[in-house]
Amino acid sequence: MQKLAIGMFDSGVGGMTVLREVRELLPHEHIIYFGDTARVPYGNKSPRMVTKYALESALFLLTKGIKLLIIACNTSSAFALRILQRRMPVPVIGVISPGAKEAVRNTTSGRVGVIGTRTTIRSMAYDRSIRKLDPGIEVFSQACPLFVPIVEEGLEHDEIASLMARKYLDSLKRSGIDVLVMGCTHYPVLEDVIRKTMGKDVKIVHSGKETAKEARMILEEKGLFNRRGRGKCEYFVTDAPESFHEIGGRILGEPLTHVRTLKSLDYRELLFSS
Ligand code: DGL
């Protein structure tokens, strides 16, 4: 079991910000990353579609033989975590609860901000998760839909990034929050701009980083932690492998090897293909 890989899925390439943290904390683990590049973005899709895609992605990863499943996508975590935890034969973690826990640990004002895709923000998943831990905390949320294309276009250092950050974050800044959760895979690429816009008194929480810590804890608890060898990464996408390669390599900070494009997401077909 220890030798099995960790499976991770995301709507596309953004999950590389989570992978980066997992690799840093768990360098000996093999990782199979699935990016649903044919159907990205999830952030403006309905809960029903997001859940269906999550089930398909998880089943695909199961066919590969994994010991832990990480839902790297915030939008998918918002809707599909519980159903996957009930149905999968392996432990499943999402990015929302680890991010929420870190926010609660760090706020002193009791005012926490959350930014994410439209669908994540509408789901109120972060609000619920935070308030379950501390019902007294007030949550202020803001969808930042243009942050995703800004990152994918490599414009994180361009003035458009600062302009949009000011536009999206201005009301959060005025609400008196002392913690801001980056509740979307892409936002850590914009962390400098977000930090600069919010000012030094606001702690920025990276949900992916907290998720990596949780993954390590679970593997240790269950005796599944791999302590030796260098972990390898394999990537599967549903379309456009070239741009996955290009953007993914940029976010991860190293070239991606072993990117394969799937012809089908039907797990029955996958089970019988080589
Ligand atoms: N991966 C998504 C998330 O973290 C962002 C990109 C998308 O909208 O699919 O919510």
pLDDT, tens only, 121-158: 999 999 999 999 999 999 999 999 999 999 999 999 99
Residue 266: its pLDDT value, please?
62
- CA dihedral (88, 39, 64, 185) positive or negative: negative
Residue 274: its pLDDT value, please?
47
Structure tokens at 60: 């695909």
What span, in angstroms and rounded, lies between the C-alpha atoms of 10 and 158? 26
| Catalytic site residue from 73, 84, 100, 270 | 73
74 lines ligand 1 (CB under 6 A): yes
Quick one: 81 and 105 in the same domain? no
Task: Give residue 263's pLDDT band: very low, low, confident or very high (50, 70, 90).
Answer: confident
Residue 154: its pLDDT value, please?
96
57 lines ligand 1 (CB under 6 A): no
Question: For ligand 1, atom 6, which residue shows the shortest CA distance?
Answer: 41
pLDDT, tens only, 228-257: 888 999 999 999 999 999 999 999 999 998
Whole-number average pLDDT of the chain: 95
Task: Give residue 267's pLDDT band: very low, low, confident or very high (50, 70, 90).
Answer: low
Quick one: 46 and 133 in the same domain? no
Where among 207, 235, 250 does a domain terminate?
Answer: 207
Quick one: 241 and 261 in the same domain? yes
Judged against a pLDDT cut of 70, whether residue 226 lies above it is answered with yes
145 CA → ligand 1 middle, Å: 9
Whole domain around residue 117: which residue ranges?
A: 96-207
Question: For ligand 1, atom 7, which residue shows the shortest CA distance?
Answer: 41
Residue 268: its pLDDT value, please?
57
What span, in angstroms and rounded, lies between the C-alpha atoms of 38 and 45? 14
What span, in angstroms and rounded, lies between the C-alpha atoms of 127 and 112? 9
Task: Give residue 270's pLDDT band: very low, low, confident or very high (50, 70, 90).
Answer: low
42 lines ligand 1 (CB under 6 A): yes
Q: How many domains does the chain have?
A: 2
Q: What is the CATH number of the domain that holds 74?
A: 3.40.50.1860
Where among 191, 207, 223 does a domain terminate?
Answer: 207
Quick one: 116 and 149 in the same domain? yes
Where among 207, 224, 243 does a domain terminate?
Answer: 207
| Catalytic site residue from 72, 95, 115, 184 | 184
211 lines ligand 1 (CB under 6 A): no
Judged against a pLDDT cut of 60, whether residue 71 lies above it is answered with yes
Quick one: 75 and 133 in the same domain? no
Between 257 and 215, residue with greater pLDDT: 215
194 lines ligand 1 (CB under 6 A): no
Quick one: 100 and 178 in the same domain? yes
Quick one: 169 and 116 in the same domain? yes
Quick one: 115 and 57 in the same domain? no
Task: Give residue 273's pLDDT band: very low, low, confident or very high (50, 70, 90).
Answer: low
Task: Give residue 168's pLDDT band: very low, low, confident or very high (50, 70, 90).
Answer: very high
Please, are residues 159 and 92 in contact by the beta-carbon 8 Å criterion? Answer: no
Clarify whether 184 is annotated catalytic. Answer: yes
Quick one: 68 and 110 in the same domain? no
Quick one: 104 and 177 in the same domain? yes
Q: Which of 75, 76, 152 to mutate to test the pocket of ligand 1 (most atoms within 8 A of CB)?
A: 75
Crossing angle of helices 96-106 and 74-87, in 10° steps, is 120
Quick one: 102 and 149 in the same domain? yes
Residue range 45-72: mean pLDDT, rounded: 96
Quick one: 136 and 107 in the same domain? yes
